[in-house]
Structure 1
Amino acid sequence: MTARTIVQVFDQYQKARMSFVQTVADLASRTHNVECLENAGALDLLRLLLADTVPSIQQMSAIALGRLASFNEKIAQALVRREIIPQLLRGIDKQNKFYKKAALFVLRAIAKHTPEMASAVVHSGGLEASIICLEDFDMGVKEVAALCLGHIAKHNKSLAQAIVDAEVLIYMAHQDEDVSRNAAILTKEICKHSLELAQLVVNTGGIGGLIDLIGTSKSSPKLPAIMALGYIAGQSNQLAIAIIGSAGVIQLALLLQEEKEDHIRAVIVWALGQIGKHTPEHAKALAVANIFPKLIELYTNPKCDEDLKAKCKATLKQVLQKCIHVEALEPLLHDAPPDILKYVVGQYSKILPNDARIRRLFVTTGGLRKVQEIQTELGSTLSEYISVINCCFPEEIVRYYSPGYPDSLLEAVEQYQPKCPSLLGVEQRGSELSTNLTDSSCSLNEYE
């Protein structure tokens, strides 16, 4: 009887501990409870329960700490001061998958706030623990580990450099969509900091992995992969050329045609802008892929959201200012809205003075006529572009294609006063000519 009573007491104690951590974890999921829980001493109690002999209690304690730290940077700092991270990570490689995911959640909740907090996680062994978990057999553990590394890498170059050797790029091709998405997020966070880090990603086959991910994944991994390509392309024109050479523009153009979500289309447009902004060669890659008409379509579509329109305009501006591919510029001269048209006209003002063949084509395709029809303000940049274009052609040609010129010709015809000789004078001269011919005929007869 006594033994049963003792067992019941310990059983009740265990149930009470579990009930406590579950309740605290539930309360910690709501922001307005966080300060009250901290004031009640929840951090110290949860720290003690991290060392509990029951794995499920350890796990739930970690979840509660992660939720508290996620909502409040001050609590994240308190966890670092209490040296909870080393305790949390002790023997993590021997823990079950549920505890590993809970521990990684705490690391992510702390690291996400500031570079200082992320550095504290790294210095407390969080980086090594995350890499160990990245190699775990469980897909869920891999997923959370990659996400945790991404939150460390996002803050600055030195933190990204600290994890760049983790060889996470191989996980972008992982069959699990969540793992590949978080690996792409981590790659994106690394690439954005510097040319050197982006180059490291490229050197390890990152471009091919990202493009494959864009082409084969269903949805969620695409967005960070597209952003990663944009960050890589933005770092240098050589890296952008590498993306073009890997058919990155073609893949993004195809995705832009198929995608229906505005927020994803906005990221695609931004990435294309990062690729095409460098030189005429880069801009030509977008022109050949027929990107410009699609951007115009999205920009002028009233159903598209403002962020997408803003990114379309920005991309058109920066890429068109590098584009000298006339076959792509010519349709835009007729289809582009006024605030985009000025960039098209500006490019023609650079091309036409140096190429007679293009000047002839500009006239025969209606370009010169279109330019004369553009309404501009005197002294504006657009009017200056048009003046440069007009100087490339004879004055009479420019006048011929100016609006109203045919009407002015017809009006001149109507107002013209004929200066023909009078009909009477013509008849008299005709009669005299006839008489002279008759006299000549008679004279000839005398010699017969």
Structure 2
Amino acid sequence: MTGQTVATTHQSHAIPNTRIVSPSLRNTKKSVSSLSKRSQTSPPENPTSKPSNQQASSLALGRLANYNEELAEAVRFYKKAASFVLRAVSKHSPELAQSVVDSGALNALVTCLEEFDPGVKESAAWALGYIARHNGDLAQAVVDAGAIPLLVLCVQEPELSLRRIAASALSDVSKHSPELAQSVVDANTIPFIAPLLGNPDAKLRRQVCSALSQISKHTVDLAETVVDGEIFPNVLNCLKDSDGYVKKNSATLICEIAKHTPELAQLIVNSGGIAAVVDYVTDARGNARLPGIMTLGYIAAFSETLALAVILAKGVPPLAQALVTETEEHIKAACAWSLGQIGRHSPDHAKILADNAVLPKLLKVLTSTSNPTAAPNNALEDDKDVGSDLKTKTKRALKCILEKTLYLDALEPLLQPSTPFNVLKYVVGQFAKILPNDVAARRAFVTSGGLQRVQEIAAGLGSATGPNAGQINILNGTKMGEFIRTINECYPEEIVRYYSPGYSATLLEKIDEYSRKHDQASTEQPPKVSVVAENNPVTPSVAV
């Protein structure tokens, strides 16, 4: 050991807070610095030499790092810092991310994924995820750079933070198109990330659920590939997780699987998924409810049997409750759509919804979204105004449920002149289907005031020329006119007249007219003279 080395060692022990750099290392750093400045100020003579320069620079850094441990540490931090800068630039907009790609940074980032140091790999994976998340072209550039197999290897590393970032990057690549998702699947990703649904780390479970849902959403084949990864029952356990993001992402994964085919929906039912989803919808609030609400609607839409499974799992009450209590329109619209999918299959399904007071709740939502300045029932044709998504879905749900409802007690509360015309015509249409074939229903319809309300509706829609058929003359040629005429034909003409709005005034007019005629006849009648017999000596009398 030379004296200079001993002195340097002794000095470093004597002053622990002072960093001593050996002359050889100082000279090396100066050389690297001068090379860096020269490369920045002196552009290459031709573009084809740039890759070779990068390769030579990387080789030089590697040899220098191999020569000195401290420089190797500096190179490691340099790579992490460079990856951080690229990530910070890429995250703001697609244009900035594209500029990073155009600079040739993808190859360097992919090379960093092959580093031994997990911190370097994590920084590189993070930057790649920020580049890929913007659009499909940038994600395709990440795939073309060969990042996917290395990201899959990162998922298998023991460091939790690296596994989280790698799973997040895979999710960012998969979300844009079926082709990109297929490229992720082709890298044998599913067998390595699906078991991580049972990992104790909540943040890792979040990213795994997100990645699987982004893969599943595109096609039936991709969804089946995810299911073949044996995600059940772990994904159902995630619905009961203490972490809110894990619950929401797992509900999204189930939703993306359920929407494709009846077979996948039946698989969820057979796995006990409906009960878990219903519990999730009951407990969740706000936007977190949305994937669970949509899942119930997707499952119920396929068949009567699957819709009945949702009903038996008590899925209707939480949907009805969310329809009333949630404040955001897109959540209310999802509830209305799901309820419509449950009730549209048969009268039995519709009756369950009626028993849960779904029809009045849907009507209340519809009227609250209608234009308050518009005149009610001022159009006899279908409502052509689409309006908001909430209004459209609520109106369609009411139509689907009403067309299957044969339960008169559920229909009568909606039989009001204040009910919007585009809903009222379906209510009246159901009565027109039921009453001609049911004697007891016809009697109950009169005693409950239903017949009177039908006549009031006919009068309110326009025409008061007569107490019976004249009230619906203006409705000729419309479905509403046909429905009202069918109902009136179920009863005697005098009964229909009796319950018409102008019938009492007509009776009073007839009474007044009869009284006038009677008085007039009494005043115009001549006096009667009685003739006495000739043998009667009494003077003849006049009888009035």
TM-score (norm 2): 0.75
* Correspondence for 2:403 among 313, 321, 344: 321
Counterpart position of 1:367:
450
Cα 1:332–1:46 change in 2 (3 A) is same
Find the counterpart in structure 2 of residue 306 from structure 1: 388
| 2:406 and 2:430 in contact (8 A); partners too | yes
Alignment match, 2:231: 166
CA distance in 1, matches of 2:392, 2:505: 41
CA contact (8 A) 1:283 1:322 kept: yes
CA contact (8 A) 1:100 1:133 kept: no
Q: Distance in 1 between matches of 2:449 and 2:365?
A: 25
Supply the distance in 2 between the matched residues of 1:302 and 1:227 (Cα, whole angstroms). 21
Alpha-carbon offset, residue 121 of structure 1: 0.8
1:390 to 471, 478, 488: 488
Among 321, 336, 360, which residue is 1:254 paired with?
A: 321
Cα distance in 2 for partners of 1:131, 1:3 equals 51
Spell out the pairing of 1:137-152 with structure 2 (5 A cutoff). Answer: 137-152=200-215
Cα deviation 1:135-190 (Å, max 9, x = unaligned)? 22210000110111001110111111111232122321222221111111010000
CA contact (8 A) 1:230 1:275 kept: yes
Matches of 2:143 and 2:368, distance apart in 1 = 51
Alpha-carbon contact 1:177-1:220 (below 8 Å) kept: no
Q: What are the equivalent positions in structure 2 for 1:241-280 lying under 5 Å apart?
A: 241-280=308-347
Instruction: Please give the alpha-carbon distance, in whole angstroms, between the structure 2 residues aligned to 1:337 and 1:390.
Output: 22
Letter in 2 for 1:299: L
Match in the other structure for 1:204: 271
Among 513, 516, 537, the alignment partner of 1:415 is 513
Aligned to 1:349: 432
Instruction: Name the residue aligned to 2:32.
Output: none
Paired residue type of 1:75: L
Mapped partners of 1:303, 1:349: distance in 2: 27
Change (3 A) 1:49 1:205: same
Q: Deviations over 1:350-400 (max 9, x none)?
A: 010111111111112221121122226320111111111111111111122
Residues 350 and 429 of structure 1: is their aligned pair in 2 closer, same or farther, counting only changes over 3 Å? farther
Asked if structure 2 preserves the Cα contact closer than 8 Å seen for 1:93 and 1:133, the reply is no
Q: 2:105 aligns with which of 18, 37, 42?
A: 42
Once structures 1 and 2 are overlaid, which stretch shifts more, 394-403 or 327-336?
Answer: 394-403
Higher Cα Rg, which structure: 2
CA distance in 1, matches of 2:523, 2:419: 58
Distance 2:151 2:132 in 1: 14
Q: Where does structure 1 lack aligned partners over 5 or more consecutive residues?
A: 433-448
| Aligned partner letter, 2:139 | A
Q: For residues 411 and 151 of structure 1, what CA distance do their matches in structure 2 show?
A: 75
Q: Is the 8 A contact 2:122 2:162 kept in 1?
A: yes
Structure 1 length-normalised TM: 0.90
Q: Show CA shifts across 1:417-443 (max 9, x none).
A: 22998699999899x9xxxxxxxxxxx
Query: Please, which runs of 5 or more residues in structure 2 have no aligned partner?
Result: 1-21, 27-67, 372-386, 462-473, 533-544
> Using the alignment, how far apart are the partners of 1:223 and 1:54 within structure 2?
41
The aligned residue for residue 10 of structure 2 is none
Match of 1:77 in 2: 140
What is the letter of the counterpart of residue 276 of structure 1? G
> Is the 8 Å Cα contact of residues 188 and 228 (structure 1) preserved in structure 2?
yes
d(CA) in 2 for partners of 1:353 and 1:363?
13
2:356 alignment partner AA: A
Identify the structure with the greater helix proportion. Answer: 1
Post-superposition shift, 1:34? 1.7
The equivalent residue for 1:100 is 163
* Alpha-carbon separation, structure 2, partners of 1:166 and 1:139: 16
Q: How far apart, CA to CA, are the structure 1 residues paired with 2:154 and 2:333?
A: 44
Greater length-normalized contact order (CA 8 Å, ≥ 6 residues apart) = 1
Q: Match for 2:83 among 4, 18, 21?
A: 21
The 10-residue stretch of structure 1 (117-126 or 217-226) with the greater mean CA deviation from structure 2: 217-226
Please give the per-residue CA displacement for 1:179-214, whole angstroms capped at 9, x wherever unaligned.
111111010000100100000000000110001111
Question: Is residue 121 of structure 1 aligned with residue 169 of structure 2?
Answer: no
- Which of 292, 297, 321 does residue 225 from structure 1 map onto? 292
CA distance, structure 1, for counterparts of residue 525 and residue 196 of structure 2: 113
| 1:49-93 CA-partner distances (Å, limit 9, x unpaired) | 111232122111111111111113123223333332112222633
Which piece of structure 1 moves more, 246-255 or 9-18? Answer: 9-18
CA shift in 2, pair 1:267/1:422, >3 Å: closer
Structure 2 residue identity aligned to 1:382: M
Per mean C-alpha deviation after superposition, the further-off stretch among 164-173 and 236-245 is: 164-173
Post-superposition CA distance 1:238-295 (Å, at most 9, x none): 1111111111112222333332333222211111111111111111111110111111
Matches of 2:307 and 2:115, distance apart in 1:
53
Paired residue for 2:73?
11
Question: Percent identity among equivalent residues?
Answer: 38
The whole-number CA distance in structure 1 between the counterparts of 2:117 and 2:524 is 129
Cα distance in 1 between the residues matched to 2:257 and 2:184: 17
Q: 1:429 to 1:420 in 2, by over 3 A?
A: farther
Deviates more, 1:186-195 or 1:209-218: 209-218
Contact 2:132/2:139 (<8 A) preserved:
yes
Give, in whole Å, the separation in 2 of the partners of 1:422 and 1:111. Answer: 99
